Amino acid sequence: MRRYRDCVNPYQSTGSFVFQSEPPMDLTSNYLGLTLAHPFMVGASPLVDHLDTVKRLEDGGSAAIVLHSLFEEQISLAESGRIHQMYPFEKQFADALAGFPLPERYALSPDAYLEHLRRVKAAVHIPVIASLNGMTAESWLKFAASIEQAGADALELNMYEVVVEPGESGMGIERQIRNVVRELKHHIKIPIAVKLSPFFTALGDVAHQLDQAGADGLILFNRFYQPDIDPERRCVTLALRYSDSSELLLRLRAMALLADRVSASLALTGGVHGALDAVKAVMAGADVVQLVSALMLRGPAELGRIRDAFSAWGDEHEYDSVQEMRATLCLARSRNPKAFARGNYRHMLRAARPLEIPRAGH
């Protein structure tokens, strides 16, 4: 941390203690082998579907751009006419595939996605990260090579699946994700970041396995858009809800458990809506912070406001750089790892007190 120091006054013959103005906090960050101007970037979202908005995000201060995800089902349907080895227009598969959108409902077809990637790369001067959303280790993964050829600086792999089969084991899911990463590493040379869900029993072991498989980065966490139930109509209803700062706590704990214990870069996404949220994320161990909901709600300029407030907080608290702040509160640097892992839980329960219930007649 920065300190005032003994300096020689050129107008005196002896040394004296003087106040020197310090340079601002160095925000330079490293993610997936990419050097970024600062740790704030826009995450995968519809914000980046239009070139004019992409330019506004760069002008607003985004250090990198993650494109909206291209889905496994889109690629498989375009290449083979099938979704998960089933033909959508055959009667026997109609019910199983009824929940998947028709091709025209997606923002971009696979070919249009590649063209959009080329246009974004030509329009901005910051790294552009493509995104694939899928789960199986099938032929659709070869599309990643086309993404690399189109100019992507890295690839984000969004491992999104709601497991519904009782016989499908956690170990099997983890093996499947690891195999997808290994398969992709055979096809492309650009860095790969894996976006994970928070529902693994042993997240540390999953992270270690992905490290061994060659993942260059891990992103915590995917948000599952869970459906609601309309009891009157007796049907499932879908509702999009943006994140808020309350979702940050889950991510902070997981980030702190992994920081300095895996070689992969770490990105936090979900729950960052202000500078202090970002400070917590970096202190827990995040190399970068991905913003989506804050920008959807308040526009592209919100990223620059959060970045500037973060920098001002770092200056006020005498941090020389983001790297000095990073992972200062992670498990690997804890003096008492056991207390870190379980002590907070016990203290929280001891602190809990029931609300006072008024007596009858009062």
**Residue 161 belongs to a domain with what CATH number?**
3.20.20.70
pLDDT at residue number 225: 73
- Per-residue pLDDT, 13: 46
**Quick check: is 14 in a domain?**
no
At residue 242, the pLDDT reads 92
Residue 6 in any domain: the answer is no
213, 180 contact by CB (below 8 A): no
pLDDT score, position 346: 58
Domain coverage including residue 101: 29-351
pLDDT, residue 360, reads 65
pLDDT at 128: 98
The count of domains in the chain is: 1
Residue 358 lies in a domain: no
Instruction: List, for the chain, all residue ranges whose pLDDT scores fall below the cut of 50.
Output: 3-13, 83-98
Is residue 13 situated within a structural domain? Answer: no
Q: Looking at residue 90, what is its pLDDT?
A: 42
**194 contacts: CB under 8 Å, gap ≥ 6:** 156, 157, 159, 177, 181, 210, 215, 217, 218, 219
- The Cα–Cα gap between 82 and 73 comes to 8
The answer to whether position 56 is within a domain reads yes
pLDDT tens for each residue of 207-218 = 999 999 999 999
- Taken as a whole, the chain contains a residue count of 362
In the prediction, which pLDDT does 70 show? 92
Instruction: Report the half-sphere exposure of 212 (CA within 13 A, side-chain side).
Output: 11
Q: Is 24 among the domain residues?
A: no
Whether 5 is in a domain gets the answer no
Contact 243/221 with Cβ under 8 angstroms?
no
pLDDT tens sequence across 315-337: 999 999 999 999 999 999 988 77
Residue 20 domain flag? no
